[in-house]
Amino acid sequence: MKSPFYTAEHDAFRDVMRRFVEKEIAPFAHEWDEAGEFPRGLYRKAAEIGLLGLGFPEEYGGIAADQFMKIVASQELARAGAGGVSASLMSHTIGSPPIARAARAEVKARVLPQVLSGEKISALAITEPGGGSDVAGLRTRAQRDGDHYVVTGEKTFITSGMRADYLTVAVRTGGEGAGGVSLLLIEGDTPGLSRTRLKKMGWWASDTATLHFDECPVPAENLIGEEGQGFKIIMQNFNSERMGMAAGCTAFARVCLDEAIAYAKERKTFGKPLAQHQVIRHKIVDMAQKVAASQAMLEMLAWRLEQGESPVAEICMMKNQATQTMAFCASEAVQIFGGAGFMRGIKAERIYREVKVNAIGGGTEEIMKDLASRQMGL
């Protein structure tokens, strides 16, 4: 559908992204899902078309990009119906912004060009075995010892956790609560760091890990921002992450809609195509209605962000709107496919398995409601 928010530049990038996904991802999505990983060379290919650099400073290899360019990137990636590939390929969009925003100049110059060129992989490590979105309650400890910090603790459910060369890690450098939280850049070959691969319901092609820090020495220069300022940086990061997830989830819902329409036109039951049965037509219209509503809300929020607003409550609600739309459309698409929808290999089946990770990651649906209500003064 036409939208007033996209320019010729956005459309040109959409064409580049579409060709990239059709050539480099879609033909291999099922194979990579079954293998539990995708080739590391995909990062370099993504960097070559400018995907990895979107929104990062040009001096480090980034490319200026507004909210709508980022929506284009997320939604074109989703066309492959491979959430695991999207999650790990783009893990730097949550791992590297704190570096770009608050790390020392020499750290930025050393790390960001490697990540944005696809040479190195960046990941974010916040969640711990004892708590998810309760960032203020994290337990991983970083004790200052001369020109180093000594880090002890664990992080879990870390996207790109097994392969990441650079880990942006939330640690406790001070007392209890948000004021004691800091961010450290920990390199993947740091002594004392070990990793355990995790098996998941969905996102099979994305490596996910638990990280174990056993008295890891980390140079003090790798502190991101000031001590005790990590919580604020993390919260800024969450808003961007949630917008990206909302864009992707809305697009995954549209993939389910498109797949369902194509199948309903082709598949015949009781002497006529599925699409000629009223109950199927109604399902498809319900799907289309929810996708259109979610896309409209997403684009209006993106416009408000471009105007300098910070609509935190609406971003929280947007994430829920998008994940609920994805859940509805994935379920209805599998239902329309019938037995074929239960078989591995089609996009709708993969997306159906990936619904819950989106409703949990970046803040659960319940937390989004609570944050939104607080922003509304309730």
58 is catalytic: no
SS3 at position 137: helix
Dig out the tokens for 100 from the structure.
């770009």
Amino acid at site 295: Q
In this structure, the dihedral spanned by the alpha carbons of residues 369, 370, 375 and 378, taken in order and rounded to 10 degrees, is 110
Helices (H), the chain: 8-24, 29-35, 41-48, 67-78, 83-89, 92-95, 97-102, 105-116, 230-266, 278-306, 312-337, 347-353, 355-360, 365-375
Which one is catalytic: 128, 241, 299, 349? 241
- The Cα 348–Cα 326 span in angstroms is 10
* Chain mean position to CA 142: 27
- The Cα 330–Cα 339 span in angstroms is 14
The CA-atom distances, in angstroms, between 268 and each of 43, 259, 286 are 42, 15, 21
**CB 179 within 8 Å of CB 167:** no
- The Cα 346–Cα 327 span in angstroms is 16
- The Cα 266–Cα 369 span in angstroms is 41
Residues paired with 272 in a beta bridge: 269
* Chain mean position to CA 75: 12
Tokens 């502190």 correspond to: 223
Active-site residues: which are they?
A: 241
